Amino acid sequence: MSKRFKDDQIALITGIGLGLTLTIQITTLTASDFADIYSQITTASRFFALTGSYLAIIGLLLIARISWIENVLGHDRLVTWHRKAMPYALYFITLHVLLVTLGYAGGDQVRIGTALWTMITTYPWMLPATLGFVLLLVAGVSSYRIFRQSISYESWWVIHLYTYLGVALSFMHQILTGAMFISHPLAKNYWISLYSFVVVAILYWRILMPLAKSIRHKLMVDKVVNEGPGVVSIYIKGRDVKKLNAQGGQFFSWRFLSKDLWYQSHPYSLSASPSDESMRITVKALGDSSSELTHLKSGTRVFIEGPYGVFKASSARRGRHIVLIGGGVGITPLRAIMEEFPNNTQIDILYRASHESELVLRKELDELSDRIGARVHYLVGSRQEHTMSYEYLKKFVPNFQDSEVFICGPEGLVSAVKEAAKKAGIPKNRFHDEAFAFHG
Ligand SMILES: Cc1cc2nc3c(=O)[nH]c(=O)nc-3n(C[C@H](O)[C@H](O)[C@H](O)COP(=O)(O)OP(=O)(O)OC[C@H]3O[C@@H](n4cnc5c(N)ncnc54)[C@H](O)[C@@H]3O)c2cc1C
């Protein structure tokens, strides 16, 4: 199944859901909903409320870590879609608040402030809904790049959790005051089922499944090995690790239950193909948490979420020449997937770094490529020396245009190779990238 086909299927299901949601409103409309301009404004406000709420719950479903969706579409793309859907949800819900206030104020011939106050203080569940709206606004605004960059990832993450609370707090006022639900049991049941499904999906996939896996597999730190300046590999041992069904190149979100790290969880890719007893990640110290990993003690319990991602050998078409391109610590998932291609696959590895000291896992790469008959090209130096253009890449891989490309590294490197692949006529389904950041 091509990526395009899968996208189309998801779009179709989402579209059907939106169609059903709008049908709720259309089939429950009456003449009084259009009696005068203020009734029309209130009717329009309900349209924005329904569409905005629908988009919000779809946005939450996209990041509910539903494993069969994650495995097909990849976590990175789901996060990208979540980021696209949520601002529209917020705009629509804001329009609902503005229009419903205007409609009620006009209908009752009172000031806007008075209409708003009356709604909040007298309508059922309006106070929680108002609080929910404020929380959605705070979570939404904190995600804008300009604010996001000024706070730590952990602070942003905690604020972002308000989205769940915001959506939950607004639910009862919809059911009890929404004209399309009052005296329309079918519409009401559809809406309750939709919300219930989202709640169950989030509880199951985001909380229960990861907890159960972490407990069942008894994961703990085995050892921490220094790989070079600021880079460590962490070996994690456990029970029946193979049953986690992880593949080289995929990532987990890792929570190390040590005194200083238990409250945060960070994504790291597997840097070796997992065995039945152990997994390995290789981490570059960038901030507080990644720097702290070097002090992990063996025996520290580890909780995981995952495996996630479609950056894996099995995503490639059989028989293709494989080109793996890594920049700096971005080599780690490529090192892992190298082991998982079928025998006799032709593999070229292009490893880009500014200085020799940044070439982590070099010895391992040489040994592994000798064993599987792959060719490693170390491209050390400036961007001017190594332009990563199509013409430049062809010097190392003469049949670059026929290959399947996997790349992981800094944004600049990924964009340069993406451009080269485009020039070579490599279609999107033969180009796989892992960002080490959830890009928008
Ligand atoms: C899918 C994926 C796979 C990754 N694999 C590896 C790997 O194999 N090896 C490696 O060294 N690094 C990897 N990273 C990057 C790694 O997750 C971050 O460097 C790490 O989380 C930084 O945390 P910190 O507290 O040390 O630094 P901070 O200073 O807090 O953050 C540094 C940067 O990392 C981002 N970041 C921090 N925490 C998270 C988080 N929980 N989720 C997403 N982004 C976060 C911040 O927004 C910031 O841009 C991966 C990232 C992603 C998204």
In this predicted model, what pLDDT tens digit does every residue of 148-182 receive, in sequence order?
888 888 899 999 999 999 999 999 999 999 989 99
Question: Which helix or strand (DSSP H or E) is residue 220 part of?
Answer: strand 220-228
Question: What's the confidence (pLDDT) of residue 363?
Answer: 95
Q: Whose CA is nearest to atom 7 of ligand 1?
A: 268
The residue ranges of every structural domain in the chain are: 3-208, 218-308, 314-434
Q: Whose CA is nearest to atom 48 of ligand 1?
A: 153
| Over residues 18-43, mean pLDDT | 93
Distances in whole angstroms, Cα of residue 109 to Cα of each of 96, 100, 101, 130, 422: 19, 14, 12, 22, 61
CB atoms within 10 A of CB 401: 16
Strand duo 322-327 + 220-228: pairing: unpaired
Kindly state the tokens that stand for 191: 């809406």
Is the pTM higher than 0.85? The answer reads yes
Identity of the amino acid at 411: E
* Cβ of 283 below 6 Å from ligand 1: yes
Q: Whose CA is nearest to atom 47 of ligand 1?
A: 153
From the CA of 268, how far away is ligand 1's center (Å)? Answer: 7
pLDDT above 80: residue 358: yes
Question: What's the confidence (pLDDT) of residue 3?
Answer: 61
Among all chains, which residue has been given the structure tokens 């006799």? 344
Kindly state the tokens that stand for 331: 């080599």
Q: 382-398, pLDDT tens digit by residue? A: 999 999 999 999 999 99
pLDDT above 70: residue 2: no
Question: What's the confidence (pLDDT) of residue 266?
Answer: 95
Atom of ligand 1 nearest to the CA of 309: 1
Q: What is the mean pLDDT of the chain?
A: 93
Q: 55-103, pLDDT tens digit by residue? A: 999 999 999 999 888 888 888 889 989 999 999 999 999 999 999 999 9
From the CA of 36, how far away is ligand 1's center (Å)? Answer: 55
Q: What is the rounded CA–CA span in Å between residue 248 and residue 336?
A: 5
Using a 10 angstrom Cβ sphere, with 0-12 exposed, 13-18 middle and 19 or more buried, the burial of residue 433 is: buried
Listed in sequence order, the residues at least 6 apart from 293 whose beta carbon sits closer than 8 Å to its beta carbon are 224, 232, 234, 256, 261, 283, 285
Farthest-apart Cα atoms in the chain, separation: 82
> 237 — phi, psi (to 5°)?
-105, 160
| Residue of 397, 366, 359, 360 whose CA lies nearest to 380 | 359
Q: How large a percentage of the chain has pLDDT more than 90?
A: 84
- What is 218-308's CATH number, 2.60.120.560, 2.40.280.10, 2.40.30.10, 3.40.640.10? 2.40.30.10
Order of all β-strands in the sheet with 404-408: 375-380, 347-353, 322-327, 404-408, 431-434
| Residue of 182, 313, 285 whose CA lies nearest to 226 | 285
Question: What's the confidence (pLDDT) of residue 4?
Answer: 65
| Over residues 316-320, mean pLDDT | 84
Residue 123 vs residue 320, higher pLDDT: 123
pLDDT above 80: residue 108: yes
Question: What's the confidence (pLDDT) of residue 11?
Answer: 83
From the CA of 266, how far away is ligand 1's center (Å)? Answer: 6
| Over residues 37-57, mean pLDDT | 96
Question: What's the confidence (pLDDT) of residue 320?
Answer: 86
Query: Identical fold at 218-308 and 314-434?
Result: no
Which fold, 3-208?
Answer: Four Helix Bundle (Hemerythrin (Met), subunit A) (1.20.120)
Question: What's the confidence (pLDDT) of residue 318?
Answer: 80
> 225 — phi, psi (to 5°)?
-120, 130
pLDDT above 70: residue 214: yes
Sign for the pseudo-dihedral over CA of 290, 292, 294, 300? negative
Residue 145 vs residue 103, higher pLDDT: 103
Question: What's the confidence (pLDDT) of residue 289?
Answer: 92
Atom of ligand 1 nearest to the CA of 268: 5
pLDDT above 90: residue 12: no
* Cβ of 260 below 6 Å from ligand 1: no
Residue 109, classed as helix, strand or coil, is coil
Identity of the amino acid at 188: K
Question: What's the confidence (pLDDT) of residue 440?
Answer: 41
Q: What is the rounded CA–CA span in Å between residue 362 and residue 359?
A: 6
pLDDT above 70: residue 340: yes
pLDDT above 80: residue 1: no
Listed in sequence order, the residues at least 6 apart from 439 whose beta carbon sits closer than 8 Å to its beta carbon are 76, 80, 411
Q: What is the rounded CA–CA span in Å between residue 311 and residue 249?
A: 6
Question: What's the confidence (pLDDT) of residue 75?
Answer: 86
Q: How large a percentage of the chain has pLDDT more than 70?
A: 98
> 427 — phi, psi (to 5°)?
-70, 160
For residue 438, name the pLDDT band (cuts at 50, 70, 90).
Answer: low
Helices (H), 143-184: 145-148, 153-160, 162-177
Strand duo 220-228 + 231-237: pairing: antiparallel
* Cβ of 49 below 6 Å from ligand 1: no
Residue 209, classed as helix, strand or coil, is helix
CB atoms within 10 A of CB 80: 17
Which fold, 314-434?
Answer: Rossmann fold (3.40.50)
For residue 107, name the pLDDT band (cuts at 50, 70, 90).
Answer: very high
Q: How far apart are the first and last CA of the chain?
A: 25
pLDDT above 80: residue 242: yes
Q: 261-282, pLDDT tens digit by residue? A: 999 999 999 999 999 999 999 9
From the CA of 437, how far away is ligand 1's center (Å)? Answer: 7
Atom of ligand 1 nearest to the CA of 333: 8
From the CA of 153, how far away is ligand 1's center (Å)? Answer: 9
* Cβ of 261 below 6 Å from ligand 1: no
Residue 278, classed as helix, strand or coil, is strand
